[in-house]
Every structure is written in structure tokens, then in C-alpha cells.
A = this chain, B = another copy of it.
Amino acid sequence: MPIFDKPATAASRYSFLDDYSEGAHPALLKALLASNTSQEAGYGNDAYCEVARQRIRRHLGRDDVGVFFVPSGTSANAISIAACLRPHEAVIAASSGHIVTRETGAVEASGHKIINVVPHNGKLTPATIQRAMEDNWHFPHMAKPRLVYISNATEIGTIYTHDELAAVRRCCDDNGLLLFLDGARIGTALTSRVNDMTLRDVLELTDIFWIGGTKNGAFLGEAVIVKDPRLASEFEFYVKQHGSLLAKSRVMGTQFAELFHENLYFELALKANLAAEALSDGISAAGFSVSATTETNQVFAILPLGLIKTLQEHFIFYVWEKRGDDAAVVRLLTTWATDTEQLEKFVGLVREWVG
């Protein structure tokens, strides 16, 4: 007997809309089940969070960093930024950054100005950061730039190479700036075909960053990594004040313990990337171009409007922007859970259209 009947509104078409359409990976569910009856201390002091922190630290290669679990990417960003800044300090971010375009002004709600810069292929560069510094020097009449926000993978699926991130780091050092990395999709970034960084490199090159669970197999949860011991020692206050210190943090602890048990986290991300590659290759093989190289789990393909209409009969995805009168860019997201059959059906329809 079902808990409740399949709700009428449930999607009947397969979705390539985003990377949070599914529930949790079965291994995480199983861990949740196994842990369910044990009594645990609240607010992150439970045994599962402790194991998760140890396993994450092992992956990071350092015992002495703070690891904090929060329920959402917006809370991870807002808390981290508020914890790092004095009231008059500002953030430098790409105008395409998630904190700029998709978080309802949460950073500003905590009192901080975001200085927008134009991204290059979704990324910040030393030159654009330097330019932002030069445009914001008129003190004390301007907020003082103090933290650079970047995302890896970026909001359009591109990634930073080691050289690129190291250059940003140097630029930050030269300008007295902290470097904060939004890792909502750090798994797909670090398992990208074109990636040359490890999690340890990210730790070394940034001041604070987070590892996204929600978009890589968990029901919820992001792990914020705090290097500065003084900041780490008070970080829970910020988490609690933002309403993000869950009484049953064990729910996040269990899942992260599982994700960082051996290499599961990166295996799931790699699956998402490979699915994207397959989609991208299939579309290219049929003679259509992609509007950006597929580096992670986002495919941007330019398709004729007629084909898009046909595809929409079977699939859900974003039509991103028009290209001329007869075509448009569509965005397709894949995950660890992407159904291979559905993927092949999609590519098949593309091929048929040409055919």
C-alpha cells in the first residue's frame, strides 16, 4: 500500500531541468535508516557528524580545519560571508554569481554590498578583480572590498584550472582580500575531464569554501570548511543565528559520512559529468553545436525550434535563449541519477530529427 497515491501533479516527462530533482542516493538512505534508532546529542554534537567531519578532514589532508553542516547553499554562502566581514566590508563577485542572481539578496540582507564584475566564461580573473579594486578606492565613502566570491564549477558549468585559481589567490593576497569558494557543484568540478585540481588544492588556495551535498546525492546539506582557527571557533554562533544549526544535524552527518566514505562523493559527480558528456557527444554527433564546452554536468546545446518542440513532448528542460529566428540554446543538467535510457532516448530523438 502506497503511503499516498501518486500525486496528480507529478511530472510525467523526464526532467533535465536541474540537479536536485531526485531524492538521496540509495547508500545515503541506507545509512539514514541504519542510524535512525540511536539516540544522539543534538546540534551537530552527534557521532555521525563527528565521523563525517573526520572523513572530510581525511580527504582534505588536514586535521585542524573547521567543518560545519548547514542545510542549503544560500545559508552556506550568507553565513560564510557574514562571518568573514566587518559591517563596512564588501564582496567582489561575478554578475552571474549565485549570490547575485539566485539568493534573494541574502548577502545584502546581512548588510554587505556586492560589487559586480563581468565574468569571463563564468569566472573571475585577476584583471577583473584588480579593476574592481581600482573602481572602489574612495574611502571611507565606498564600502571596502574584502572578500572575493567565486563558484567552482561556475553557474554555467565551467571550471577553474589550478593556474587560474592560483592566480586569483595571488591577486587576493596582493589586495588584502579573502577568497571564498561556493562549492555547490565542487564534485563535478573536481571530476571534470579538464580539471587539474584536488580538494586539497582548493583548501590550500582559498580561505573558506563549501562542499555541496544537495546537488550531489544528499537530501540536504552543505559542508562549510573554515581554515582560520579563530573564525572556526566561533562559526557555530553564526550557523545558529541564521537558523541553520539543525537539532538533528545527524541527518546531514549521516549523509556526509557516507559521501566521504572512500570516494562516493566524487564517484557520483563523475557519473553526472559522464552523462553530460554522453549527451553533449550525442548532440554534436548529430551535427548540432554546443554553445559552451561541456566541462561538467551542464550541457548548452543550440537546437532548431522544431526539434526543441519535439523534445519537449518527452522531456523537461530550460530553453535558455533564442539564436536567430529558427534556433535556441537549451540547457540540460545531468546528475548521478540520470537515467541512461532516457538519455539515449533524448539523443535518439535528436538523431531522428536530422535523419
Which residues of chain B are near A247, meaning CB under 8 Å? 18, 20, 72-73, 214-215, 220
Q: Which of B38, B237, B238 contacts A139 (CB 8 A)?
A: B237
CA–CA, A50 to B7, complex, Å? 9
Q: Is the CB of B7 within 8 A of A243?
A: no
Expressed in whole angstroms, the Cα–Cα distance for A266 and B9 within the complex equals 28
* Per-residue interface assignment for chain A, residues 109 to 128, with 1 indicating a CB less than 8 Å from any chain B CB and 0 otherwise: 11111101000000000000
Closest chain B residue to A48, Cβ basis: B7
Q: Within 8 Å CB of A4, what residues of B?
A: 31, 51, 257, 261
Q: List B contacts of A291 (CB < 8 A).
A: none
Contacting pair B244 A75 (CB below 8 A): yes
Known: A3-B257, A111-B111. A11 touches B36 (CB 8 A): no
Q: Find residues 193-219 in chain A having any chain B CB closer than 8 Å to their own CB.
A: 214-215, 219
Q: Is the CB of B79 within 8 A of A243?
A: yes
Kindly identify which residue among B87, B101, B139 contacts A109, using a CB–CB cutoff of 8 Å.
Answer: B87
User: Which residues of A (233-249) have their CB < 8 Å from a CB of B?
Assistant: 234, 236-248
> Is A296 in the interface zone, CB < 8 Å from B?
no
Interchain CB contact under 8 A, B248 and A214: yes
Cross-chain contact B239 with A140 (CB below 8 angstroms): yes
Instruction: Indicate if A345 sits at the interface (CB-CB under 8 A).
Output: no
The verdict on A138 contacting chain B, using a C-beta distance below 8 Å, is yes
Most chain B CB neighbours (cut-off 10 Å) among A17, A76, A106, A247: A247
Q: Is the pair A237, B104 in contact by a Cβ cutoff of 8 Å?
A: yes
Contact B7 A22 (CB under 8 A): no
> Which residues on the B side are within 8 Å of A261 (C-beta)?
3-4
Say if the beta carbon of A267 comes within 8 Å of chain B.
Answer: no
Choose from B32, B39, B237, B254 the contact partner of A14 (Cβ within 8 Å): B39
Contact present for B141 and A104 (CB under 8 Å): yes
CB of A262 to closest CB in B, whole Å = 11
Taking the closest CB of chain B, its distance from the CB of A113, in whole angstroms, is 4
User: Are B86 and A23 in contact, CB atoms less than 8 angstroms apart?
Assistant: no
Residue A340 at the chain B interface, CB threshold 8 Å? no
Residues from chain B with a CB closer than 8 A to the CB of A26 are 36
Across the interface, A238 reaches (CB within 8 A) one of B31, B42, B87, B251, namely B87
Taking a contact as CB atoms under 8 Å apart, the answer to whether B103 and A35 are in contact is: no
Query: Are A22's CB and B37's CB within 8 A?
Result: yes
Which chain A residues numbered 79 to 115 have a C-beta less than 8 Å away from chain B?
A: 79, 82-83, 86-88, 90, 101-106, 108-114
A59-B48 Cα distance, complex, nearest whole Å: 36
| Closest chain B residue, CB of each to CB of A252 | B220
Q: A39-B14, A220-B71 are in contact. Are A240 and B140 (CB under 8 A)?
A: yes
Residue A354, interface by CB 8 Å: no
Question: Min CB distance, A129 to chain B, in Å?
Answer: 18
CB pair B72–A244 under 8 Å, yes or no, is: yes
- Residues of chain B contacted by A27 (CB below 8 angstroms): 3
Tell whether A294 is near chain B: CB-to-CB under 8 Å: no
| A307 touches B (CB below 8 Å) | no
A144 CB → nearest B CB, Å: 6
**Contact status of A109 and B140, CB under 8 A, knowing A3-B30, A50-B9, A251-B219:** no
Say if the beta carbon of A70 comes within 8 Å of chain B: yes
Contact between chains at B241 and A244 (CB < 8 Å): no
Q: List 5 A-B contacts (CB under 8 A).
A: A7-B48, A10-B47, A105-B113, A139-B237, A220-B251
